[in-house]
Amino acid sequence: MTTEYKPPLAIHFIWNPADEESVSTILDAVRSSFARDVDRPFSRGLNIPLFFYSSENPNQSPSHLPTQQAAKDIVFVFASVNTLGRDSWKSYINQLSLSDTFLAVPIAIDRNGLGHGSEGSLKNLNFLRSYEWSGDLKEQRAILAMAHEIYRYGFVEICENDHGKCSSIKIFLSHAKAGDTGRLHAESIYQFIDSTNMSRFFDATEISPGFKFDEEIIKHIKESTLVAIGSDAYSSRYWCQREILCAKQHQRPIIAVDCLQDFEDRVFPAGSNVPCVHVSPDTPISEPDILRILIATILETIRHLHAKKSLEYYQSQNWIDNDCAIISRPPEIRQVIDLKNSGKQKICYPEPSLYSEEADWLSHFEVDAFTPLWNKAEDGALGSFRIGISISDNPVGNYSEHHLHADHLKRLSQDLARHLLARAGTVIYGGDLRKDGFTQFILDEAIALKTRLNTDNIHVENHLAWPLYVSDSEMVAWRAKYNGIIKTVEHDIPDDIAKDIEKSVFIAPSGTDNKYIWSRCLTLMREKSIELSHARICAGGKLAGYHGKMPGVLEEIIISTEKNKPIFLLGAFGGVVAEVCKTITNKAIAAPVTEHWQITNNAGYFELQEKAEKENQNADYANIKSLLEGISVDDLARSSGLSSDDYQRLMESPFVDECVHLVLKGLKALASASMSKKTEGHDE
């Protein structure tokens, strides 16, 4: 039986929609810091699961309470006059069931919000006060304050009688004593921490001039995040090098601060492979620059600890071998030598994986270095497999029912594309690849893959229904840019309606007649592309505002099921797939996939169905109900190469890593079975 996935940490946010203006900028800043940036998909930043709880009506609380999702959960409650003065919200917050592993951090938006501390679940808790985060640096102060609580409650064992200082992040300020820049910057950082409430967050240490590098200093570094202030003289100083080497030896978080004034003759090699912040060499250093350094420090410390805990958890789940060494950043030569000397031949580091050109030196040491979801041995594992991607935007509403941000679906799509292409699988996508962030990523990854593998094989197929491919200047330029990377498959107009259409002229999906033509063309494209695929991955999907005979992802699920294609249904990401999963689980059709709901929520849909029915081409919702209610998890699992428990988790899990792991597990099983059949057929 599959053990329920429990990542080390999850973060929840609760706020009243009347406070949206005050909360949104804070949430945007925090989200960009703690969830991987979808615009930088190869970044090594944090990727902590985030959940959001609000509502459409200020008088109505969210439909669900946050629940335990991880080994430790932290709930940030934005408290205000709007939560304290409304009984529904006051009751909602008081119902939070807190524990040592499910903790709340209240944030007072105004002074009235502090009133929640007199009773209920937030009684006697200390509040962060966002109304004190004013001015141009509001977002930076929010990140620092909230990150500190995430660090304290997520990664520090706090005893009941501990003072706040006991759980502060310790930073070690490493700088050259020669020259003014490094020394003065270090003094400014130290004084800033010491003279503000930042001392609650940071405990700063530095080596005094001429101090012996002895056991006491090593002890400081072993329990600190090292901030290397890279002035012109830094990397040429012996003690600075020793401090860097000591931090690397003991696998400590490191931040490089680039404040070069003129020239550095040699960047110390051991000082690489870490985050770097550039600040002005001018002194005194500005407050915004100091805050950027401290934010980078606290985020890298959390990333370092979160990565180690995540890898340890994956090891406990048998994603990676027990004899594997775990490290928090990609491997380095000194580290590999030390690990080899200790008998380790396998190294696991956090996602994303290094490209082969960056990691080819590891072969000289006969060391296997990989990430939880990628190992070089899997190159070509899906070489003959063609995987359809049925993933589209699911417009996020007010977070009352669905608690994931829209970017979460893009992260899923990016990771799936990366891993499918890296294993030489062919990704099939039906629709216009130019308009969506995650589909653009598919093409960018294919370009990198072509260079990396030195191959002319095409790994992306873009299937287009008429009239999407009717040429315009944008389409011509797009095709030229991705020439040799993508294979475009243009599907024609169905024969029975083609005679009345001028194929070279684009028509908009407006009016019943044009909507009918679009629906027929989209259905044909979906049928043909699904016929050409071995399996299909489905997540999200619009329930309204589409151009076909039914929601596009729903139609692709129905066609795939009718054609006996394996489908992977990722239900926690909302949209169409969530409703399909509810239907399969409950054996009762979910309202959004009924004709009544679709007519009610889509202008002109009744007229489209009426016209299509005359041609026997309408969406048959009675058949959809019968088909979906008749599907069993056991059958879905069997056809997808997974156990029933694994498939049930796939339908429920909101965690990208777990979903990608399960999809790859199923696809590899299918690919292996397919290869065995081919081999048996050849032997005969």
| Ramachandran quadrant class, 502 (left: phi over 0; alpha: psi -120 to 50; beta: rest) | beta
pLDDT at 496 over 80: yes
Q: Label residue 453 by pLDDT band (50, 70, 90).
A: low
**Is pLDDT above 60 for 208?**
no
Does the pLDDT value for residue 36 go beyond 90? no
Q: Is the pLDDT of residue 577 over 90?
A: yes
- Does the pLDDT at position 439 exceed 80? no
Helix, coil or strand: residue 53: strand
What is the pLDDT averaged over residues 434-451?
72
Radius of gyration of the chain (CA): 28
Burial of 14 (0-12, 13-18, 19+ CB in 10 A): buried
Segment 435-461 shows an average pLDDT of 74
Cβ(256)–Cβ(296) below 8 Å:
no
Helix (H, G, I), strand (E, B) or coil at 26: helix
CA atoms within 13 A on the CB side of 578: 21
Of the pLDDT bands very low, low, confident and very high (cuts 50, 70, 90), residue 679 is low
The per-residue pLDDT of the chain, averaged, comes to 89
520-544 burial: b if 16+ Cβ within 10 Å, else e: bbbbbbbebbbeebbbbbbbbbbbe
Average pLDDT over residues 678-683: 60
Of 334, 154, 169, give the one whose Cα is nearest residue 244.
Answer: 334
Q: Which burial class, exposed, middle or buried, applies to 163 when counting CB atoms under 10 A from its CB (0-12, 13-18, 19+)? A: exposed
377 vs 678, higher pLDDT: 377
The mean per-residue pLDDT over the stretch 72-85 comes to 97
Written as one letter, the residue type at 220 is: H
Mean pLDDT of 562-566: 96
Query: Using CA atoms, how far apart are residues 629 and 494, in angstroms rounded to an integer?
Result: 30
In angstroms, the CA 495 to CA 447 distance is 36
Strand-pair partners of 570 = 539
Between 633-640 and 644-652, two packed helices, what is the crossing angle to 10 degrees? 100
The pLDDT, as a whole number, for residue 309 is 94
- 508-562 pLDDT, tens digit per residue, is 999 999 999 999 999 999 999 999 999 999 999 999 999 999 999 999 999 999 9
What confidence tens digit (pLDDT) does each residue in 394-407 have?
777 789 999 999 88
pLDDT in tens, 134-144: 788 999 999 99
For residue 467, is the peptide bond before it cis, meaning its omega torsion is within 30 degrees of 0?
A: yes
Percent of the chain with pLDDT over 90: 61
| pLDDT number for residue 641 | 97
Q: How confident is the model at residue 414 (pLDDT cuts 50, 70, 90)?
A: confident
What mean pLDDT is predicted for residues 294-301? 95
Is residue 603 helix, strand or coil?
coil
User: pLDDT band at residue 1, thresholds of 50, 70 and 90?
Assistant: very low
- Residue 578 near residue 591 (C-beta atoms within 8 A): no
Out of 146-155, 156-165, 428-437, 543-552, least confident range: 156-165
Is the predicted pLDDT of residue 161 greater than 60, yes or no? Answer: no
Q: What is the pLDDT of residue 683?
A: 46
Count of all residues that appear for the chain in the document: 684
Q: What is the pLDDT of residues 14-32, one digit of tens each?
A: 999 999 999 999 999 999 8
Q: What is the DSSP annotation of 510-575?
A: -SHHHHHHHHHHHHHHHHHHHHT-SEEEEEE--SSS-SSSS-HHHHHHHHHHHTT--EEEEGGG-H
pTM (predicted TM-score) = 0.92
In the predicted structure, residue 213 carries a pLDDT above the cut 60: no
The answer on pLDDT for 681 being more than 80 is no
Q: Over 50: is that where the pLDDT of 583 sits?
A: yes
Distance, CA of 352 to CA of 329 (rounded, Å): 10
Given pLDDT bands bounded at 50, 70 and 90, which one contains residue 270?
A: confident
Token pair 């950043």 is at which residue?
329
What is the predicted pLDDT for the residue at 160?
A: 57
Positions of E strands within 72-181:
72-79, 102-108, 128-129, 169-175
